[in-house]
Amino acid sequence: MSFAGPSSIHDIQYYGDHIFTTVTAAAVVVDEWIANTMHIHKRELSELLIGLDTEWYDIPPSLIQFLGNKKFKFVGKGVWNDACKLFEDYELLVAHTKDVGYWAAKKYHDRDYRKLGLKALVLDLLQKVIPKPREITMSEWNAKGLQLNR
């Protein structure tokens, strides 16, 4: 898959799984990614889980429609807070969020999972480590041009 405009696609390998990540500052790339994703998964849209943790200033119209589509479940730890921030900052509605901590608590009948962060949840439930270098998480995410490691 390739996109028009300035962007890069990364194949992040994580414990044998492949996570394809697109980094871009171009709305046309977002449009193409959404169109491709909806085409590839057209028979299973309601089963699709999309990780959400974004930094945006100019919101492409296709992203507004995508995030507002109730067919998709946007997942993460504290994802509701991310969705609220998107609404507060940009009046951007994320229609369907699923907090993995609450999801785990319900599935495993253990309320303590609601209190854990994403790294602790992944370690406890999947016995895998999420690398989250401090120099990346504490860096300037609102910079005009992001470095590759962000």
In a domain, residue 148? The reply is no
Taking CA atoms, 101 is separated from 20, 26, 64, 70, 120, in Å, by 23, 32, 26, 21, 10
Predicted model pTM: 0.53
Percentage of residues in the chain with pLDDT exceeding 90? 39
Q: Give the structural domain span for 33.
A: 7-137
Number of domains in the chain: 1
In a domain, residue 30? The reply is yes
Give every CB contact of residue 11 below 8 A, 6+ residues apart in sequence.
18, 19, 20
In a domain, residue 23? The reply is yes
Residue-wise DSSP of 72-85: -EEEETTHHHHHHH
Say which CATH number the domain at 132 has. 3.30.420.10
For 105-114, write each residue's pLDDT tens digit: 999 999 999 9
User: Does the pLDDT value for residue 56 go beyond 60?
Assistant: no
- Token digits for 87? 């609404």
pLDDT score for 3: 52
In a domain, residue 39? The reply is yes
Identify the burial level of 82 via C-beta atoms within 10 angstroms of its C-beta, where 0-12 means exposed, 13-18 middle and 19 or more buried.
Answer: middle
Alpha carbons 147 and 136: distance in angstroms, whole number: 10
Confidence of residue 39 (pLDDT cuts 50, 70, 90): very high
In a domain, residue 146? The reply is no
User: Does the pLDDT value for residue 75 go beyond 60?
Assistant: yes
User: Does the pLDDT value for residue 147 go beyond 70?
Assistant: no
Residues 92-119 have a mean pLDDT of 94
In a domain, residue 120? The reply is yes
Give every CB contact of residue 118 below 8 A, 6+ residues apart in sequence.
76, 77, 100, 130
In a domain, residue 149? The reply is no
Query: What is the 3-state composition of the chain as percent helix, strand, coil, each rounded to the nearest 5?
Result: 40, 15, 40
In a domain, residue 14? The reply is yes
